[in-house]
């Protein structure tokens, strides 16, 4: 079936470096995508979203890129900090419905 998946289960970066977390999706009907951050013992926290009519969207230290041609989504975190250590999920909202399909998640570890 169609699904949202992540390329890497874990990512280790040094403090101050930029991080890139990737996500592939297969549902061509998806038109809304979201990145969530989940810290241990907490629920997912909204980071940034993007609609399919956009290629790029920037937030505070984060940028989401959407490549509809290859059905690929990425989250870039600038100047990664220890507080960025968490599991990151991409999610899609297919067909403008009311459910989110989540990827498996990428664990980001920031080392000093």
Partner 1 sequence: KAGVTQTPRYLIKTRGQQVTLSCSPISGHRSVSWYQQTPGQGLQFLFEYFSETQRNKGNFPGRFSGRQFSNSRSEMNVSTLELGDSALYLCASSLEGGRTEAFFGQGTRLTVV
Is 13 a binder of partner 1 (CB under 8 A)? no
Q: What angle do CA 58, 62, 64 make, to 5 degrees?
A: 60
Stretch of 21-29, 32-40, 53-61, 74-82 contacting partner 1, by CB under 8 A: 32-40
Is 7 a binder of partner 1 (CB under 8 A)? no
Give the C-alpha separation, 4 to 92, whole Å: 7
Number of Cα atoms under 13 Å in the Cβ half of residue 92: 25
The residue length of the chain stands at: 112
- Give the residue with the Cβ less far from partner 1, 60 or 112: 60
Residues that bind partner 1 (CB under 8 A): 32, 34, 36, 41-46, 49, 51, 89, 91, 93, 96-105
């Amino acid at each position: 079936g169609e699904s949202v998946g992540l390329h890497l289960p874990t990512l280790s970066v040094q403090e101050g470096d930029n991080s890139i977390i990737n996500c592939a999706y297969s549902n061509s009907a998806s038109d809304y995508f979201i990145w969530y951050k989940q810290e241990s013992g907490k629920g997912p926290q909204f980071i940034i979203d993007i609609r399919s009519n956009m290629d790029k969207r920037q937030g505070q230290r984060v940028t989401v890129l959407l490549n509809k041609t290859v059905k690929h989504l990425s989250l870039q975190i600038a100047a990664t900090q220890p507080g960025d250590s968490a599991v990151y999920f991409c999610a899609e909202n297919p067909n403008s419905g009311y459910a989110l399909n989540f990827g498996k998640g990428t664990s980001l570890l920031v080392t000093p």
